[in-house]
Amino acid sequence: MQYILCVVYLIFSLSGMTFMKLGSMAENMKAILVPVVNLRITPLSLVGYLCYGISFLMYTVIITKFDLGYISPILTGISNIGILLIAFFVFKEHFTMASAIGAVLIIAGVMIMNFK
């Protein structure tokens, strides 16, 4: 059950970031503009804020059920790789050699941390 919480957390976290970005890019949607930081708040970005808020609450539950030094780096690493993939496939952002090396190092680090 604890690992299911982690998967659901990752889904909400990644979808939150994705919807926030989609919402900020949606030029044909009605938006509220926050002038000081030049932030456009659209219905899509509101969905993203909601998802990200839920992921934050789930994270607070998760860190009480696992060792913090164990779970935090693992979830952060998986989240970073997930965002890298979303950036490439959804937003058509560039994937550089440095990104690939970083992703491999993250995976290696997570594997090393899990050796008993």
Q: How confident is the model at residue 116 (pLDDT cuts 50, 70, 90)?
A: low
Q: Are 32 and 44 in contact (CB under 8 A)?
A: no
| Cβ neighbours around 47 below 10 Å, total | 17
The domain ranges of the chain are 2-113
- Specify the higher pLDDT residue, 13 or 99: 13
Q: How confident is the model at residue 28 (pLDDT cuts 50, 70, 90)?
A: confident
State yes or no: pLDDT of 17 exceeds 90: yes
What is the value of pTM for the model shown?
Answer: 0.85
Classified as helix, coil or strand, 23 is helix
Summarize the confidence of residues 22-37 as an average pLDDT.
81
